[in-house]
Amino acid sequence: MLILGGTGEGRALGDAITDDPRFKAIYSVAGRTKAPLLPDHESRVGGFGGVDGLASYLMANSIDILVDATHPFATIMSANASQAAEMTHVPLIAITRPGWAAGPDDRWSEAATLEAAAKAIGVAPARVFLTIGKNDLTAFRAMPQHHYVIRSVDPPDVKDLPPDHVVIAARGPFSVADDVALLKRHRIDVIVSRNSGGRATESKLIAARALGVPIIMVVRPPLVRVAARFTTVSEALDWLRAHHGASLPTERGV
Ligand code: NAP
């Protein structure tokens, strides 16, 4: 099994499935972070070289099943996985954690893209908490009047940064108390987030709700088609165990 990871779900699946002697998992990350969290079982770091590279990898390593457990915003990898699975007839399943949903006390607005999110901050100078990772900050260079507090696992490239910024290099999970303190300390007017879902980074949403801070939430990209899609690791595990040894579905309808 090849697990496309970079997520807690990917690691949890690999750890759980390697306890089952019928399975052997290889966990894969892109190598975006300086110190990726890797499991004890076999893993690899770095891109495959596009769709053809992934298809070759699947064949060369006799992969029987491909699991897309990437982050919901890792759109290129998910699309490549779908195409490579189709080319090689290797069954593809996906684990996609549910997105966050606004409650009655939340002040959310939605943006389709990061560019739209940057525009939605408005014209008047604002203090913005940016939690979209380090790779896609350039949209905010077009709105240089704002002060940005940027939190990412590793520091971003200087060339990508808007002029007025503070960088906080930190890896979740974060606590609500710490995020309340952060929002107060930096006098944050608005948060820009992707709708990543999951527990590890939801503390900022709870902190924002408590303080009445608005959030501009970037909506998720469309899903690619896979043979089966699960929202939790345990559902995926059940399916994998139930289908072991069976002819796995390669048609993609979910
Ligand atoms: P992306 O834009 O969808 O992918 C860009 C390229 O990175 C892919 O074409 C592939 O290179 C390589 N890649 C991505 N995921 C890979 C994996 N699991 N194993 C090997 N190569 C991979 O991806 P991204 O948004 O930069 O995310 C990169 C990684 O960080 C993913 O593992 C993702 O789960 C994790 N992550 C992303 C976010 C986010 O907000 N996007 C947040 C947390 C974690 P080749 O074409 O050369 O194969």
73-94 per-position pLDDT tens digit: 999 999 999 999 999 999 999 9
CB atoms within 10 A of CB 198: 17
pLDDT, tens digit, 9 for 90 and up, residues 18-61: 888 999 999 999 999 999 999 999 999 999 999 999 999 999 99
Rounded to an integer, what distance in angstroms lies between the CA atom of residue 113 and that of residue 105?
A: 24
Rounded to an integer, what distance in angstroms lies between the CA atom of residue 25 and that of residue 240?
A: 12
Q: Find the radius of gyration of the CA atoms of the chain.
A: 20
Query: In which residue ranges of the chain is pLDDT below 50?
Result: none
Atom of ligand 1 at shortest range from CA of 4 = 18
User: How high is the pLDDT of residue 253?
Assistant: 54
User: How high is the pLDDT of residue 254?
Assistant: 52
User: How high is the pLDDT of residue 212?
Assistant: 98
The helix/strand/coil state of 82 is: helix
Residue nearest to atom 34 of ligand 1 (CA): 70
| Phi/psi at 197 (5° precision) | 75, 175
| Contacts of residue 236, Cβ cutoff 8 Å, sequence gap at least 6 | 13, 67, 93, 95, 230
Q: Which two tokens stand for residue 24?
A: 């052997």
For residue 126, give Cα distances in angstroms to 41, 134, 166, 193, 226: 46, 20, 14, 16, 41
Rounded to an integer, what distance in angstroms lies between the CA atom of residue 58 and that of residue 67?
A: 12
- Residues 150, 130 contacting (CB under 8 angstroms): yes
Classify each residue of 219-239 as buried b or exposed e, where b means 16 or more C-beta atoms within 10 Å of its C-beta: eeeeebebbbbbeebeebbee
Global confidence as pTM: 0.94
Pocket test for ligand 1, best of 58, 77, 160 (most atoms within 8 A of CB): 77
Q: Which two tokens stand for residue 112?
A: 């389709």
- Residues 172, 200 contacting (CB under 8 angstroms): yes
Q: Separation of 82 CA from ligand 1 center, angstroms? A: 14
Residue nearest to atom 31 of ligand 1 (CA): 6
